[in-house]
Amino acid sequence: MQLQDILYSQGFGIRRVCSGLVQQGLVQVWDGAAQGFRTITDSSQRFSPEGLRFCVQGQEWHYQAKAYLMLHKPAGTECSQKPSAWPSIYTLLPAPLRQRPSKGAVQGVQAVGRLDQDTTGLILLSDDGQFIHRLSAPKRQMPKVYRVTTKHPITAAMVQKLCQGVVLDDSPRPVQAQACEQLADCQLDLTLTEGKYHQVKRMLAAVGNRVEQLHRWQIGQLCLPVDLPPGQWRWLSQADLQALGL
């Protein structure tokens, strides 16, 4: 595969731009024999993309046929590429991840579901449409765990109602938590397998309480790493994908 095509597939711009980066000496490719990066100036030079390490303008990248990553969403951000009032989570990602080409009309990685602007925690992103569909399809019933801090103390009756089901105005049937673990007077972990609009906030309101803080820390068996600070992202490992049941 030509180097310019590899760079194009990884989101470094149209092929003409990628070719220019190479010709200007801004691209280095890892040379296993020499155990170092080697500058390439011929954009048509061929490489095997699988496992390829390269640097573009001093930043190291690994070739990824498809992008799978996690982001620790901070408060005050929107999960939209066209935000209405708050900065987009996509501005937290480097440009190549936002510009990865796709056969469809949409370019770059896309979030798997959304969190409200004031909700923090684990967001998954990918440019693999099948991956996004498998994780977000309602029939999959992927469990998501939210840490909820409430305004008022949580009672045993509230916990019971959340587990048995509460009525929301846009649902034909009661909506219930799959698990509800109280951690403190005003804090609990709530596990849901569906994602209705403002669902956690409306469920707590339905039992007579109010959400003050909301943080999603687990999807499936994948937990938000404690060493991933708000606003930072990382690639999903094979172990991470297995934790998602993939």
Element (H, E) at 225: none
Active site residues: 116
Q: What b/e string do you get for 95-120 counting C-beta neighbours within 10 Å, with b at 16 or more?
A: ebbbbbeeeeeeebbbbbeebbbebb
Assess contact for 203 and 175: CB atoms under 8 A: yes
How many separate helices (H) and strands (E) can be counted in the chain? 7, 13
Neighbouring residues of 87: CB distance < 8 A, sequence distance ≥ 6:
76, 77, 78
**DSSP secondary structure letter of residue 78:** B
The candidate with the shortest Cα–Cα distance to 222, out of 145, 149, 147, is 145
